[in-house]
Structure 1
Amino acid sequence: MAKSIKIRARMKGGTCEVKALIKHVMETGLRKDKKTGKVIPAHFIQEVNCEHNGKTVMSANWGTAVSANPYLSFSFSGAKKGDKFKLSWKDNMGNSDAADSVIK
């Protein structure tokens, strides 16, 4: 089970509506630590991929402009209740996470 991703995929009308919350610091590399005065290194999600039954339905390249703990929402067609859905991400420091869900 993913530690950083909360995901919900539900059918709404004829489309699948996906809502996800990703726990991540999303540091730009421009802020300074208030105590030490040193620059906090950049640490942000670079790639987000979403798959429906193993087929990519959405992919995104993110950068430093995305806020901490990003919220992602989108919809796609061609799904039905009970299908499998997967969201995964990779960041600039080599960390990654993924979460699976069943469309409701």
Structure 2
Amino acid sequence: MASSIRVRAIAKGETTEVQTLIQHPMDSGFIKNDKGEFIPAHFITELTFEHNGRPVFIADWGTAVSKDPYVKFAFKGGAKGDDLKVSWIDNKGGTDSATFKIQ
């Protein structure tokens, strides 16, 4: 199975800029399908970014985040070739993680 995570991380001087797109339905549990039945809640609860094993960004999410979330942030440090690990956990126990090289 292909990863649900896509990342672009670019080191610029003292900071590293990270852009991430995650494929996930992010269903709130408050929307109905065509039959009028509620679609069960299914959303990411925790998103973590680690640079060389050190957490640089942690997000605790709920139902208010849209489908296929996009995250952009910057952190101090990081150099070309360093590892950036991204992982998430959802409310149904699903997980995904991937490691990317900083460009």
Counting matched residue pairs gives 103
Indicate the SS of the match to 2:88: strand
Aligned partners of 1:31, 1:15: CA distance in 2, in Å?
40
Does 2:23 correspond to 1:16? no
1:16-60 deviation per Cα after TM superposition (whole angstroms, max 9, x unaligned): 0001100000000001111x2111100000000000001111101
RMSD across aligned positions (CA): 1.2
CA positional deviation for 1:15: 0.4
Unaligned runs of 5+ in 1: none
User: Cα distance, 1:13 vs. partner?
Assistant: 2.9
Instruction: Report the equivalent of 2:76.
Output: 77
Give me the TM-score of the superposition, normalised by structure 1: 0.94
Q: Deviations over 1:47-98 (max 9, x none)?
A: 0000000111110101111000000110000211111111100000000101
- Residue in 2 that maps onto 1:28: 28
The SS at the match of 1:89 is strand
Match of 1:95 in 2: 94
Question: 1:17 & 1:2 partners in 2: Cα distance?
Answer: 24
Percent identity for Structure 1 against Structure 2: 52
> Which contiguous aligned blocks of 4+ residues in structure 1 show a shift greater than 6 angstroms?
none
Q: Distance in 1 between matches of 2:51 and 2:27?
A: 30
Distance (whole Å) between structure 2 residues aligned to residue 67 and residue 86 of structure 1: 22
Structure 2, gaps ≥5 residues long: none
1:2 shift after superposition: 5.1
